[in-house]
Amino acid sequence: MARITTGIGSSHVPAIGAAIDNGKTQNDYWKPLFDGYQPVRDWLKENKPDVAIVVYNDHASAFGLNLIPTFTLGVAESFNPADEGYGPRKVPVAEGEPDLAWHLAESLILDEFDMTIANEMDIDHGCTVPLSIAFGEPAEWPCKIIPLCVNVIQYPPPTGKRCFDLGVAIRKAVEAYGEDLNVAIFGTGGMSHQLQGERAGLVNEEFDRAFLRDLTADVPGLVKKQHVEYMREAGSEGIELVMWLIMRGALGDAAKETYSFYHVPASNTGAGIILLEDE
């Protein structure tokens, strides 16, 4: 059967992608962050997944305010990097895994998660930057990609509990899939940041570090966290962190932390990464 073996929580800051694309990862500003990513890259080389489900949010690239699906599952054969205003990133096209993606769609919808199904969807920095963080700059991504896009742009986003429960349902669906596949799941976004308004520039290191810790130390506490608390403590765009709870739900109760790292600043955010392994 297929198994979710690996969970990765990661920031998806566009400037991290730009640092990679423009050969700046070793300069004084970026080196500490990329040094922190290296153990995850090394680990993934040794433990290569067959498929990565990448949970992320679109930033008005594939969708605009004309269409705001809460959860969108990409079932296409491939997904092109989006043009976010300065041309698409020169990263590989993501090859999909339509059979597993359609199995997920069926299982999740019959489990009463009303997924939107995308036969065509460009993927923006929310999805491509975590892939670059995890896999560097290969000619092809080393695994198949199933993008799972979440609305955290336009109020109301899904609750943290809804996200966690979706993750649990994803785990159940993957385990019911007949083919032997090693599946990783990425929860991306954040960490604390606010890009607009009076509190623009807000970063809350204490909140971010507690969030990383509680992904293993206090999952029920994280699942209960309300939107208003993310907004107050982590800034308006800190709400992206609810997407990490889909990843957490998909890993199961016994998941252990293999590695985590936190660094401030990365562009306007606190940047974190965590690697969880299923027991």
Residue 273 sits in the site that holds ligand DHB (CB under 6 A): no
193 flagged as catalytic: yes
Residue 18 sits in the site that holds ligand DHB (CB under 6 A): no
263 flagged as catalytic: no
Residue 171 sits in the site that holds ligand DHB (CB under 6 A): no
Stretch that binds ligand DHB, among 97-105, 145-153, 218-226, 267-275 (CB under 6 A): 267-275
Judged by CB under 6 A, the residue of 4, 5, 9, 12 near ligand DHB is 12
Residue 248 sits in the site that holds ligand DHB (CB under 6 A): no
Q: Which of 59, 193, 227, 263 is catalytic?
A: 193
Judged by CB under 6 A, the residue of 7, 10, 59, 121 near ligand DHB is 59
Residue 269 sits in the site that holds ligand DHB (CB under 6 A): yes
Size of the site for ligand DHB (CB under 6 A): 9
The smaller minimum CB distance to ligand DHB, of residues 74 and 126, is found at 126
The residue assigned the tokens 């199961």 is: 252
Binding site for ligand DHB (CB under 6 A): 12-14, 59, 193, 195, 267-269
Catalytic residues: 125, 193
